[in-house]
Amino acid sequence: MTPDGTALGPSAPVAAYDEQIMPELPELQIVAELMGEAVRGAQVDSALAPGINTLKTLRPPLSALEGLTVQGVRRRGKHLIVDFSDGLSLLIHLMSAGRLQLYDRRAGPHDRSSRLLLRVRAPARDGGSVGAAGAGRAAGAAGTVSAAGPVDAAGTVSAAGAVGAPPELELRLRELGPRQAAWAKLLPCAQLDGDPALAGLGPDAWPQTPVLAGIAPGSRPLNALLRDQRVIAGIGRSWADEILWEARLSPYRRLSDLDAAQLSGLREAIFTVLDGAIAHYRRELSLPLPDRMPAPLRIHRHRGDPCPRCGATLRGVHLQENVIAYCPDCQTAGRILKDRRLSRILR
């Protein structure tokens, strides 16, 4: 990946982003940015939780959101936070198969993917009624093509705009597949930092990538360390592979074995890779968000493909349910890493 991400244009190979891949920092960042832009200032009509296990808090009740204004959507680590007036916040973790999407009509009774529904009235832009600009934005936000079959919003929205009523939108937490793992908590904003989900998080990996020297005991393999949210927040299986490839470091190197140049190189790789991915999404994505994000992965899930840098065959090593991908020539001085899954079985 080039520093400015130019190698990640539409023609770059794009890996399938299926439900096995957990959304990580770049994917959640673009969701927060696009959703925030679309619903900031919107007023909540109603809030429902069709997913019986999704909402992990009882008080305040979800109905407390009715009538409140959406103040913004932000990200912390791999969490999304929707802030409302009156000091309430919805903390969301999408886990592996959750998606936060915006629709221009309400979920039907047979939509089994809905976990949480926030029905809002989109804000009038530029302080006036929904004029051409406002309708255009809302249509862009809500005109949808995703699998659940939403309609083309243009007619609806411009009709609503014509009579001056703000368009109705539905912010929907969906979950692809049968599992209910995605969760949400409704909390006073002041309690967010103390919530166990956020309290233990390390510094965000982007945009202020932390200095790595001394950030954690150095005895664990880098691939595990980078994915430890208590050490550095936002990186998972996909982007850890990309980062270590970018830094030319073995997934099994230890932090304590790195010299100063390698430490700063790794820090730079974290920033460059995540920043490049976010830049890619900013170029490629607009609302409605697809179920499958066009993740510009070049190493993860590319075992067997040629290394984009040196052409050597990318290898994979199993670690629990994950396959760590790496380039032997760029990262391990030609050494093929032992498949620990196999060795454990054979031992």
Q: Amino acid identity, residue 208?
A: Q
CB of 308 to Zn ion, least distance (A): 8
Q: x/- site string to Zn ion, residues 3 to 42, per CB under 5 A?
A: ----------------------------------------
Tokens linked to 41: 């200032």
Sheet holding 168-175, edge to edge: 43-48, 114-121, 168-175, 98-103
| Residue of the chain from 91, 329, 332, 337 that contacts Zn ion (CB under 5 A) | 329
Which of the residues 264 through 323 are near Zn ion (CB under 5 A)?
Answer: 307, 309-310, 312
| Torsion angles phi and psi, residue 278, rounded to 5 | -65, -40
The residue among 134, 145, 153 whose CA lies nearest residue 289 is 145
Closer residue to Zn ion (CB): 212 or 327: 327
Among 37, 199, 171, 46, smallest CA distance to 115 is for: 171
- Residue 148's SS3 state is coil
Helical pair 153-162 and 132-142, crossing angle rounded to 10 deg: 150
- Smallest distance from Zn ion to CB 242, Å: 13
Interface characters, 127-156, with Zn ion (x: CB under 5 A): ------------------------------
How many alpha carbons fall within 13 Å on the CB side of residue 45?
14
Could you tell me how many residues of this chain bind Zn ion (CB under 5 A)? 7
Looking at 99-186, list the stretches that DSSP marks H as alpha helix, in order from N- to C-terminal side: 132-142, 153-162
CB of residue 331 to Zn ion, shortest distance in Å = 7
Structure tokens at 187: 């909390």
Residue number, 54 or 332, with CB nearest to Zn ion: 332
Q: Smallest distance, Å, CB 247 to Zn ion?
A: 12
Q: Which is nearer to Zn ion, 117 or 314 (CB)?
A: 314
Which CB, 170 or 329, lies closer to Zn ion?
329
In order of 74, 252, 267, the CA distances from 209 in angstroms are 17, 21, 7
Work out how close the CB of 269 gets to Zn ion at its nearest, in angstroms, rounded to a whole number: 14
Q: Which is nearer to Zn ion, 168 or 246 (CB)?
A: 246
Of 35 and 247, which CB lies nearer to Zn ion in the complex structure? Answer: 247
Residue 327 within binding range of Zn ion, rule CB under 5 A: yes
Residues 6+ apart with CB under 8 A from 59: none
Binding site for Zn ion (CB under 5 A): 307, 309-310, 312, 327, 329-330
